Each structure stands twice: as structure tokens, then as C-alpha cells.
Amino acid sequence: MQNSYKRVDAHLSSLGYCSRSEAKKFLKIFRVCVNGVRVFDTNKKVYHNDVTINEKVLDPESLIILMNKPSGAICSHDDKGSLIYSILPDRWQRRNPKISTIGRLDGDTTGAILLTDDGVLNHRLTSPKSDVSKLYKVTLFNPIRGDEEEIFASGTLLLSGEKKPLLPAKMKIISETVVHLEISEGRYHQVKRMFGAVGNKVVALHRVGFGKYNVEGIELGEYKILDSQ
């Protein structure tokens, strides 16, 4: 578990509570204590785990968040529109380093997405070598024709414009127009393109799980903090 030792103004700034220039005023307004003793000196060096604000412990030094992404939320820092980060508390949006999504979901796709300010973790889980499984609930425009499960599991399906076939994927039929699909890659619009390749169209896409995490019990637009990896 991380427990940084740094100046209180720098630490509060990195966690998004205030900027370094605002720290002196912040210490006057809020009861910031180190081991129960209130501090006013912005130069004082502190350990993360020793600090409280108004008797509450600080947010984790490194955040890992599981969100049930709502439709319309955009996984970007730069695009216009309703950004996924606006769902988070304001101070989390001011953290340094920034919180970023681990991979992306299309704007109209809902479900499980992880966000973190841990760059090493983000890189590890988005690497093509990570082999992290993603489970989707797929709603289709047309009824399934019957051979999709075999085609997806074959490891030979080649998407349009690509030279390397997809890795084997597992499909489970829920109804004639609803299936669960488990993949271990994250190619561009992969699920939609897979069903397009077999003559169908995805009309709704919900990611049920990412790796060992799923969004059961988390409402759309809600999230929870996960333990460090």
C-alpha cells in the first residue's frame, strides 16, 4: 500500500483537494490534521495515511474505479459532449496524474469500465498481451442464424480491412436476438464488426464484466472504488 511522504500542499494538490496556491487558505477553512494534530504549515511533510480532513481519511493515493457507464458518456478528456469524468467528484477530476479510462467504450455502449490514475496499471490492462476477458450482453436487430457460435470460436474470423484473424470468442445464446459474447481482445468496434461480418447488426451493447469485475449491483452512472491491484 502506498504511503507517500511529501509536503502537505503538494499532496493535497495531487489528490485534487486544492491547488498548491490555495493550500494555505484550505488549511484555514478545513480541519487538516496529522495524527490528530491540526496543521497550518503548508511546508510540513506528511505521510498520506497520517492525514485527515474534518476527521475523514484522505482519498486513496491511487484510485481504481469500476463504473457502470451510462449511454451517452464519452470516454475522452478532449471531446465535446458529456464526458465520463463528469460523473466523478470534482476533486477527482483535478487529480495529478489524471484519472483515465482503461480502454474505451463507445458512447452508446453501457456497462463495466475501469478508470484509474495509475499509468502502469492502465498500460498493463490495455496491452494486447494482457488477455483480459470482456463479457458483453449483445442485442441484435435480426435473429441469430445458428452458426455464429462456431464461427466466433474458430479463431479464423477475419474482420474487414484487417490481416490478422480474431482470437477465439465464446458466445452463449440467451434468446434469438440476445447473446452473451466473451472476448479477450479490444479491437476497434470489435463486437459490432463481428456481428456485421455474419450479416447482423448490434442495436444495444452492454459490457457486463471486465476481467474479474462485473457491474452487478451497480446502477447505470454509479461506480465504486476497488482495492489496489
Residues with a catalytic annotation lie at: 106
Strand, helix or coil at 202? strand
Strand, helix or coil at 191? helix
Cα distances (angstroms) measured from residue 173 to each of 100, 149, 164, 176? 33, 9, 26, 7
Q: How far apart are CA 36 and CA 46, in angstroms?
A: 12
Q: How far apart are CA 46 and CA 65, in angstroms?
A: 25
- Enumerate residues 6+ apart whose C-beta is below 8 A from 128: 185
Phi, psi for residue 193 in degrees, rounded to 5: -70, -35
Amino acid at 12: L
The closest of 55, 65, 61, 54 to 12, measured between CA atoms, is 61
